């Protein structure tokens, strides 16, 4: 295992993920982790992450210098390099020019540069820093420079400490993966045999240890994360898991049947489906404002889920499929350092209201890693590769007032859209595709008659992380088929438009 000391960089999980991709298990640890605990996990090497602080700031996170005496190689990245160098006797100060973005890196030494083995002498790297190492003692060897950063890479003469001012973990550093591999394999001597199946075994053991004889409840949404969480919990504790699926009346066509078929029929999980559509729709009557819709849906969900959980005896734990990006976007990162970027997702709220202990096996994982795990657990491909669907469901895709007749139109159109996207092999290439029902009427002509009906907008985006997105270049003939079918088959729609806005400045959802 290679632990990563988390100083709060926005990229910290990306480092962990790169290490795992290389076939070595990696976890994040807090800078306050006692050295004894680190020793106990028998690390093959340690990585110190970047972070937003300045080494000399009051209260800046620091690590125990004894970490350098563990006898394993240490790689410091950005702030991690600065803190490592400072602890080992170098001077750090703010740089004359802050450096953000691409920079040209020149490797200046021919010996002692294990990290750059097999790489060109000049390459492009991604920088993001205000401070840098300004004075090196005799104990260090400068390894590489950039225009404004004399010590862009260094190593210690006696100790196996390596520092990189740039970020090898991001794709903007084209040789970054090789640099990390050189550290993991060349310097630390890891074997690279770790796989997702090892994670599976380890999480099963951890869940069993955490839960003991207890009973766990898991809220299923029909999405990838909660589905994989349920499948994993089921593998770990079998019949002591109860899943609750709230039918809020805002689901897509066939969604409830799909969840029932997967979990009740296939996995034989104790699944309770709560029929609460009428309550949700009553709450939404006359509500036009998107945030107000979210608020009411959120409140109702908590009420319904709470009363469902009270029906189940002896529940002590709540399982959630919280992913690392959810943790970081809601500002509850490991060391509490990462900035709060986004709030509207449903990470918080529920647990506090229910008072259960949380089981969150994916807090260290990214979505595609959870998908791998889902496949290992035997979830169907159609579940593992599902596009994300927002908690408030069709309510935020039915613009204006949410009513049963409007939802029915939207469901029909959405089903046709997805059918065509799947039939044309575009589902896996797109991050999210859905229909939006606009609360306006347009004029049309059908047969000999004039029509005055509603408009469906198609939203299809490509995105890695859903923080930014571009509209997908769906071929015109596929759009033509979709448009034809929606207008012919869905009563109440006489026009289809295609959304060509990117995020930012638009968002993925229309509300
Ligand atoms: P936006 O519209 O903010 O969406 O660009 C980014 C991603 O988040 C999803 N989304 C939500 N998910 N509750 C959720 O669980 C919400 O209120 C919500 N709003 C947006 C959206 O579908 C996209 O994947």
Calculate how far, in angstroms, residue 154's C-alpha sits from the geometric centre of ligand 1: 42
Comparing 109-118, 186-195, 418-427, 491-500, which segment has the lowest mean pLDDT?
109-118
Can you tell me the mean pLDDT for 479-487? 98
What CA–CA distance (Å, rounded) separates 390 from 392?
6
What CA–CA distance (Å, rounded) separates 363 from 328?
10
| 38-75 tens-digit pLDDT | 998 899 999 999 998 898 888 899 999 999 999 999 99
What CA–CA distance (Å, rounded) separates 509 from 511?
5
| Domain-located, residue 325 | yes
Atom of ligand 1 nearest to the CA of 388: 24
pLDDT given at position 336:
37
| Domain-located, residue 510 | no
Confidence class for position 130, pLDDT limits 50, 70, 90: confident
Can you tell me the mean pLDDT for 237-265? 96
- List the CATH number of the domain containing 261: 3.40.50.620
Q: Which of 187, 217, 239 is the last residue of a domain?
A: 187
**Which residues are annotated as part of the binding site for ATP?**
221-227
* Token digits of residue 465: 């992380």
Neighbouring residues of 346: CB distance < 8 A, sequence distance ≥ 6:
298, 391
| Domain-located, residue 201 | yes
Confidence class for position 230, pLDDT limits 50, 70, 90: very high
pLDDT given at position 327:
67
Clarify whether residues 11 and 140 are in a common domain: yes
86, 99, 169, 453: the active-site residue: 169
Q: How many domains does the chain have?
A: 3
Task: Name the residue of 320, 325, 345 whose CB sits within 8 Å of the most ligand 1 atoms, as the mutation to test its pocket.
Answer: 345
Phi/psi-derived region of residue 170, left when phi > 0, alpha when psi is between -120 and 50, beta in every other case: beta
509 CB less than 6 Å from ligand 1? yes
Q: Which of 159, 187, 215 is the last residue of a domain?
A: 187
Clarify whether residues 215 and 350 are in a common domain: yes
489 catalytic? Reply is no
| Domain-located, residue 59 | yes
- List the CATH number of the domain containing 42: 3.40.50.880
| Axis-axis angle for helices 404-423, 476-489 (nearest 10) | 150
High-pLDDT (> 90) share of the chain, %: 79
Clarify whether residues 253 and 294 are in a common domain: yes
47 touches 18 (CB < 8 A):
no
Q: Which of 163, 187, 211 is the last residue of a domain?
A: 187
Q: What are phi and psi of 395, to 5 degrees?
A: -60, -35
Comparing 10-24, 314-328, 339-353, 422-436, which segment has the lowest mean pLDDT?
339-353
Clarify whether residues 220 and 304 are in a common domain: yes
Clarify whether residues 274 and 363 are in a common domain: yes
| 80-124 tens-digit pLDDT | 999 999 999 988 888 777 788 899 999 998 777 899 998 899 999
Predicted complex ipTM exceeds 0.90: yes
Clarify whether residues 222 and 357 are in a common domain: yes
Clarify whether residues 166 and 221 are in a common domain: no
| Domain-located, residue 389 | no
169 catalytic? Reply is yes
pLDDT given at position 330:
52
Predicted confidence (pLDDT) at residue 441 exceeds the cutoff of 60: yes
129, 156, 167, 234: the active-site residue: 167
For 91-121, b/e burial (b = at least 16 CB within 10 A) is ebeebeeebeeebebebeeeeebbbbeebee
Confidence class for position 329, pLDDT limits 50, 70, 90: low
Predicted confidence (pLDDT) at residue 346 exceeds the cutoff of 50: no
Clarify whether residues 115 and 158 are in a common domain: yes
pLDDT given at position 109:
82
Can you tell me the mean pLDDT for 170-181? 94
Clarify whether residues 376 and 231 are in a common domain: yes
Q: What are the DSSP calls for 134-174, one per residue?
A: EE--TTEEEEEE-SS-TTSEEEESSS-EEEESS-TTSTTST
DSSP state of 221: -
35 sits in which H/E element: helix 35-40
Clarify whether residues 161 and 27 are in a common domain: yes
Calculate how far, in angstroms, residue 345's C-alpha sits from the geometric centre of ligand 1: 7
| Domain-located, residue 506 | no
Q: What are phi and psi of 208, to 5 degrees?
A: -60, -40
Calculate how far, in angstroms, residue 254's C-alpha sits from the geometric centre of ligand 1: 21
Can you tell me the mean pLDDT for 421-427? 98
pLDDT given at position 271:
97
379 touches 363 (CB < 8 A):
no
pLDDT given at position 333:
45
Domain, as residue range, for 465? 397-498
Predicted confidence (pLDDT) at residue 273 exceeds the cutoff of 70: yes
Predicted confidence (pLDDT) at residue 331 exceeds the cutoff of 70: no
Clarify whether residues 65 and 127 are in a common domain: yes
Three-state SS for 271-324 is: EEEEECHHHHHHHHCCCCCHHHHHHHHHHHHHHHHHHHHHCCCCEEEEECCCCH
pLDDT given at position 349:
57
| Domain-located, residue 237 | yes
High-pLDDT (> 70) share of the chain, %: 95
**Residue having the nearest C-alpha atom to atom 16 of ligand 1:** 390
221 CB less than 6 Å from ligand 1? no
Q: What are phi and psi of 261, to 5 degrees?
A: -65, -40
- List the CATH number of the domain containing 494: 3.30.300.10
Atom of ligand 1 nearest to the CA of 346: 15
**Mean pLDDT of the chain, nearest integer:** 91
Confidence class for position 181, pLDDT limits 50, 70, 90: very high
Predicted confidence (pLDDT) at residue 249 exceeds the cutoff of 60: yes
Comparing 9-13, 151-155, 244-248, 487-491, which segment has the lowest mean pLDDT?
9-13
| Domain-located, residue 507 | no
Q: pTM (2 decimals)?
A: 0.79
Q: Which of 375, 463, 385, 366 is nearest to 18 (CA)?
A: 366
**Residue having the nearest C-alpha atom to atom 4 of ligand 1:** 508
Clarify whether residues 270 and 182 are in a common domain: no
């Amino acid at each position: 295992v290679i632990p990563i000391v988390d100083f709060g960089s926005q990229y910290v999980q990306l480092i962990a993920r790169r290490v795992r991709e290389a076939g070595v298990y990696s976890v994040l640890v807090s800078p306050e982790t006692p050295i004894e605990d680190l020793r106990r996990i028998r690390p093959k090497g340690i990585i110190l992450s970047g972070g937003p602080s300045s080494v000399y700031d009051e209260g800046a996170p620091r690590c125990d210098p004894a970490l350098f005496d563990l006898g394993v190689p240490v790689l410091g990245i950005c702030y991690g390099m600065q803190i490592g160098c400072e602890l080992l006797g170098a001077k750090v100060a703010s740089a004359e020019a802050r450096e953000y973005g691409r920079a040209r890196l020149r490797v200046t030494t021919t010996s002692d540069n294990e990290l750059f083995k097999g790489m060109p002498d000049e390459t492009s790297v991604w920088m993001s820093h205000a401070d840098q190492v300004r004075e090196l003692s005799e104990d260090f060897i400068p390894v590489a420079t950039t225009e404004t950063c004399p010590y862009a890479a260094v190593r210690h003469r006696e100790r196996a400490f390596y520092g990189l001012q740039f970020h090898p973990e991001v794709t903007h550093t084209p040789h970054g993966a090789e640099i990390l591999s050189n550290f993991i394999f060349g310097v630390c001597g890891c074997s690279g045999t770790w796989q997702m199946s090892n994670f599976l075994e380890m999480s099963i053991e951890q869940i069993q240890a955490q839960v003991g004889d207890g009973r766990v409840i898991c809220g299923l949404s029909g999405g990838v994360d909660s589905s994989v969480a349920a499948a994993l919990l089921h593998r770990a504790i079998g019949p002591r898991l109860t899943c609750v699926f709230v039918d809020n009346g805002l689901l897509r066509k066939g969604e409830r049947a799909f969840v029932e078929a997967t979990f009740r029929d296939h996995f034989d999980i104790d699944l309770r489906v709560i029929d609460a559509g009428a309550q949700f729709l009553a709450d939404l009557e006359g509500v036009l404002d998107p945030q107000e819709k979210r608020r009411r849906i959120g409140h109702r969900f908590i009420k319904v889920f709470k009363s469902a959980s009270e029906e189940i005896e002896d529940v002590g734990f709540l399982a959630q499929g919280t992913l690392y990006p959810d943790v970081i976007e809601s500002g509850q990162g490991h060391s509490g350092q990462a900035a709060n970027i986004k709030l509207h997702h449903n990470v918080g709220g529920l647990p506090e209201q229910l008072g259960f202990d949380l089981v969150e096996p994916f807090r260290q994982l990214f979505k595609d890693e959870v998908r791998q795990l889902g496949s290992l657990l035997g979830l169907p491909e159609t579940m593992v590769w599902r596009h994300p669907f927002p908690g408030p469901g069709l309510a935020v895709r039915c613009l204006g007032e949410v009513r049963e007749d409007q939802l029915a139109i939207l469901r029909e159109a959405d089903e046709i859209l997805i059918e065509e996207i799947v039939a044309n092999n575009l589902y896996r290439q797109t991050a999210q595709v859905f229909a939006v029902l606009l609360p306006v009427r347009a004029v049309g002509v059908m047969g000999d008659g004039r029509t005055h009906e509603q408009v469906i907008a198609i939203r299809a985006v490509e995105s890695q992380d859903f923080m930014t997105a571009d509209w997908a270049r769906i071929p015109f003939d596929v759009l033509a088929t979709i448009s034809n079918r929606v207008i012919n088959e869905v009563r109440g729609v006489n026009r289809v438009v295609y959304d060509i806005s990117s995020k930012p400045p638009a968002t993925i959802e229309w509300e």
